[in-house]
Copies of this chain bind each other. A is one copy, B any other.
């Protein structure tokens, strides 16, 4: 995985591998002011017990209890990685210090470069790149939040998980790079590496795709891309990556206003949406429309085994209105609910009260919050040929906690996990959960506890039937298109 000797980039520069496991990090522009990214990073690295953090700022002797150094070269220990949050005007001098200190990588949080549209700033970017190449170090950004590598305790946000997982995320937006792990953690997503790369002055989307296609710690690749600097190289990187690992991609700037925003954001001249879409179709990347959809697709790829190649499903849950809505959502998005044969309907009618129930797939009966009833329903559906997944839906609305008995871990969640695992094993069909969260504090504790238990047991949890269906349609289409008949995630 040596990127040094690729024909198009003959310069000597550190491999990305080296960048992802620094031992010493300097934070230049660190301050004790409670309004800065630099303080967030120092705080977060301390909290994550990163081995050696060195704040740098001539104005302070100490930042958050750590000794603060006037300049990079004053730091007594070794520094591999430098995080920079100082004005654009001061960066060239700093890069000379980086060369002297023999660092491997410099991440610029600092914005105000090419994305401002100022010609002088574009020249400054070229000078920075020249210094990095001469000094033998890599630049991440500028205008981004840099690296999050759980295994190395290298974090850029508070309360970050230090447990690594099989997903890599490359993001041109710093906000999304922090949001994706944050918003998906409760649903069980963990990351190998997250790279926010902003204006892509040096490290860019194509090199990152190449890297992650070969990274043994990464099984699934997610990408948020606003614009691509070298279209041909990107096409090659996408094609080579997507045949090895699923690539889930969210292209920012699909509309006129979105394109204007990406230019102002990361100086991205976004390519034609039609060309981008055609490329994704051709290489079999999975395109999504926003961050939440990206999380849903990642959940499906990560937790559903076997991953279906067919859209036919069984739907079960309590409530007539919600069952009608869920059925409509599923079929509108492209999943299918096959009608049950009269024999199967009769079998279900013998197990459930007829009044107030629906028996024709969807199955709706109030009993479906009782684990034994869930077990019966899943075993019946599990035996129906042509049904490829078992979907259970449940709303955590305040009312649920009243007349239907509390949805506690003891009464409901733990026994339900048992019967669902058993049904999944017996039928060889995956169980998927749509758990609708409450909209306020009431019921939220019960919801979060249930979610945690289901996630810990390995179940995919979605927050609505629409989200579940939208993600599954994409993942099934991708899975069907994969040449290997075996599950590409199980190679």
- Are A321 and B402 in contact (CB-based, < 8 A)? no
In the complex, what's the smallest C-beta–C-beta distance from A48 to chain B, in angstroms? 15
Q: Size range of the interface on A? A: 35 or more
In the complex, what's the smallest C-beta–C-beta distance from A437 to chain B, in angstroms? 8
Asked if A64 CB lies within 8 Å of chain B CBs, one says no
Task: Select A290's contact among B325, B327, B362, B439, beta carbons within 8 Å.
Answer: B325
In the complex, what's the smallest C-beta–C-beta distance from A311 to chain B, in angstroms? 12
- Are A175 and B265 in contact (CB-based, < 8 A)? no
Q: A159-B398, A320-B175, A448-B441 are in contact. Are A356 and B111 (CB under 8 A)?
A: yes
Q: How far is the CA of A491 from the CA of B44 in the complex (A)?
A: 56
Asked if A275 CB lies within 8 Å of chain B CBs, one says no
Task: Select A173's contact among B258, B290, B320, B444, beta carbons within 8 Å.
Answer: B320
Within 8 A of B (CB), among A325-341: 325, 327-332, 336-337, 339
Asked if A424 CB lies within 8 Å of chain B CBs, one says no
- Are A264 and B357 in contact (CB-based, < 8 A)? yes
In the complex, what's the smallest C-beta–C-beta distance from A462 to chain B, in angstroms? 13
Chain B residues with CB below 8 A from A291, complex form? 325
Chain B residues with CB below 8 A from A402, complex form? 40, 158
Max chain B C-beta neighbours (<10 A), residue from A88, A263, A357, A444: A357
- Are B175 and A355 in contact (CB-based, < 8 A)? no
- Are B362 and A257 in contact (CB-based, < 8 A)? yes
Task: Select A226's contact among B172, B173, B324, B337, beta carbons within 8 Å.
Answer: B324
In the complex, what's the smallest C-beta–C-beta distance from A93 to chain B, in angstroms? 18
Q: How far is the CA of A177 from the CA of B399 in the complex (A)?
A: 12
Asked if A255 CB lies within 8 Å of chain B CBs, one says yes
* Total copies of the chain: 2
Interface string of A108-152 (1 = CB under 8 A from B): 001110001000000000000000000000000001000000000
Stretch with Cβ within 8 A of B (4 or more), from A29-37, A204-212, A380-388:
A29-37
- Are A255 and B328 in contact (CB-based, < 8 A)? yes
- Are A253 and B439 in contact (CB-based, < 8 A)? no
Q: How far is the CA of A262 from the CA of B40 in the complex (A)?
A: 53
In the complex, what's the smallest C-beta–C-beta distance from A30 to chain B, in angstroms? 13
Chain B residues with CB below 8 A from A224, complex form? 321
- Are B439 and A358 in contact (CB-based, < 8 A)? no
Asked if A100 CB lies within 8 Å of chain B CBs, one says no
CB closest chain-B residue, reference A88? B355
- Are A358 and B264 in contact (CB-based, < 8 A)? yes
- Are B143 and A324 in contact (CB-based, < 8 A)? no
In the complex, what's the smallest C-beta–C-beta distance from A327 to chain B, in angstroms? 4
Stretch with Cβ within 8 A of B (4 or more), from A179-187, A297-305, A477-485:
A179-187
- Are B445 and A175 in contact (CB-based, < 8 A)? no
Within 8 A of B (CB), among A384-435: 395, 397-399, 402-405
Chain B residues with CB below 8 A from A111, complex form? 355-356
Max chain B C-beta neighbours (<10 A), residue from A182, A262, A328: A328
- Are B182 and A403 in contact (CB-based, < 8 A)? no
Asked if A157 CB lies within 8 Å of chain B CBs, one says yes
In the complex, what's the smallest C-beta–C-beta distance from A144 to chain B, in angstroms? 9
Q: How far is the CA of A441 from the CA of B444 in the complex (A)?
A: 7
CB closest chain-B residue, reference A358? B264
In the complex, what's the smallest C-beta–C-beta distance from A479 to chain B, in angstroms? 22
Chain B residues with CB below 8 A from A358, complex form? 260-261, 264-265
Chain B residues with CB below 8 A from A262, complex form? 324
- Are A332 and B186 in contact (CB-based, < 8 A)? no
Asked if A322 CB lies within 8 Å of chain B CBs, one says yes
- Are A186 and B328 in contact (CB-based, < 8 A)? no
- Are A179 and B257 in contact (CB-based, < 8 A)? no
Within 8 A of B (CB), among A158-210: 158-159, 171-179, 182-183, 186
CB closest chain-B residue, reference A349? B116
Asked if A440 CB lies within 8 Å of chain B CBs, one says yes
Asked if A364 CB lies within 8 Å of chain B CBs, one says yes
CB closest chain-B residue, reference A116? B354
14 contacts between A and B (CB under 8 A): A158-B398, A171-B321, A173-B322, A182-B398, A183-B397, A183-B439, A254-B328, A257-B327, A257-B330, A261-B320, A262-B324, A264-B357, A290-B325, A290-B466
Given contacts A257-B330, A261-B324, A264-B359, 11 further A-B contacts (CB under 8 A): A40-B399, A112-B354, A178-B399, A186-B439, A255-B330, A257-B339, A257-B362, A261-B323, A264-B364, A440-B444, A441-B441
